[in-house]
Structure 1
C-alpha cells in the first residue's frame, strides 16, 4: 500500500451518518430542516439586534456575533452533506476537505472565545454594575471580537497547514459527515506525532482557557448574587445569566458527551452521530434559548415583526 503525496489529486469519502439507503431520505429531510431553522433563526437574531436600538448593548453585540458564527459553522458542514446525499456522491477533494476542516476549527474556536467574552460581560454587569458602562465600552467589545477572530483564525490555519505535510494511503474513507481534522490525521501514512500534539495542545487551550474563564466568572457572579439581601434581587441577577448559561451548558455539555462516547465506544459511525450534538444542535437551539428567555429579545422581535409589513 503506497503513500500518496499531498500534491496529488487525492479524493476523500465522507461516509456520513448511515450507509442504509432507506434512511438517506430521512437524514436529508432532518438535516435540511435543522439547517433552515439554524440559518433563519440566527439571521433573525442578527437582524433584530442590528435594527433595534434597545439591543445595542455589549451582551447583544456578542450574541449577534455568536449567531453569525453559528450560521457559518452550520453552512460549512451541512450543505455538503445534503449535496452528497442528493447526488449519491460521497467524495470530497483533498483541498476541499482541508478547507472544510479549517473553517470548522475557525468558527468552533470563535464560538469558544465568544462564550468566554459573554461570561466576562455578565461578570462585569453583576459584580461591577456601577462601572459596567465604563469597562464594557465599545472599544473593548470590538477589541474582544477582533482578538477572538484573530486567535481562532490563526489556530485553524496553523493546524490545517501542518496537515499539508502528511501523505495518505489508499483507504481515504472518513466515517463522518464532514471533514474533522482529527479524522483526517488518522488516515495519514506518514508520521503524525507533531500533528497530534498540536491538536491536543489546541484542544487544551481552546477548551481549557475559555472554560476556566467562564467558571471563574460564574464563581464570582454566584458569590456576588448570594450577598444580595432580597430574593427578588437575586432572581433578577441570576435571570440575566440564564440564556448564556444555557448555551454554555449545551455547547460544552454536548462536547463532553462526544468525548465520553468516543472513550466508551470503538464505532466511528456512532461517534459521528454523537458529534451532531455539538456541531449542529447548539447552533440550531441558540435563537430559541435567547428569544424565549430574554424579554428584551422578545420585544425586539415583536417590533421587527411590526415593521415588516411597512417595509413590504
Structure 2
C-alpha cells in the first residue's frame, strides 16, 4: 500500500537573482515498509525534496504539485498543520546529530519533552518510553545515558540517539538525510543494520538521502538518482546499481573506488553540476555527457519505461542492450 505519493513536485527558492527551481517536476512513490534511496551529487535536490515533505523549506521557499501522505495532501499545508504531523507521523534524522540535539539539555529532557508534546503522556510514562527507545537503538546503560548530555557521546551514539528521538512517536515515515556521514565504516554498518531492523519490526517506511551508493546498495529496496533537481533514473536498487541505463548513473558507479584495483586511476565525471538557477536547456546533464546529441541540448529528455519496474529520462539511452521489441517503451 502506498504511504507517500509525490507527483510533479517543484520546489522554488528565492536567490539573489530571483526565484529558481531546486526540484523540478519530480514524481515518486514509497510503499509501507519500503526503503527508498535518493542519490545524487550536492545540489541535486535531494534534501529539498525531503524538506518539502517535512514542511521545512527555507524562507520564501514554495512547493507546488502534489505530496500525498497517508491520504493527506501536504502541498498547501499551513505551518500549524505541519507541526501536527511533523515528529509524530513523519520524522527526520538530520545529517549532523550535534545540530539536531540540544547541547545544553540532557537526553532525558529532549526525549520526554518531545513525547509529552505529541503523545500527552505523564512524566513517568514519557521516561519509561525514553528508556525503551534507547534500548531499542542499542544505547548501553539507558538509565545512565538519559542523564547525560550529547557531548558525552561518540558520533555513532549521538546518531543512535537522534534515531531514537525520530522514532519516539512511532512515525509512519522516517527520512534519513546522510545518516552515516562522518561515521567510520564499523559504526556505519551498525546504523544501517539498525535502520533495517526498525523497518522490519515496525513496518516503517524510510527515505534515505545520500551521495554514497554503497549505503544504498546495503539498505534500500528502490533507488532514485537525481541531477539538477530532477530524476534521471529509478528502479529496484539491484537493477540500477548493476545495470545502470542513464549516463549519469553510470558515471556515478564508475567513479566508485575499487579496493581490488591497486594503482588504478579513479574515473571522474567531467565538469561540475550546474548552479541553482543556471540549469542548461534541454537535458541538464548534456554539458557533461559524452553521449549527448544535438536534441539533448534543446528537447526535454524522453521518459523511458523499462519492464514496468524502472525508468530513465534520456533521449539517447546509450546502454540499452535489449531487443527493440522486448523491454523498453518510450
TM-score band, normalised by shorter chain: under 0.3
TM-score (norm 2): 0.22
TM-score (norm 1): 0.23
Say which structure is richer in helix: 1
Say which structure is richer in strand: 2
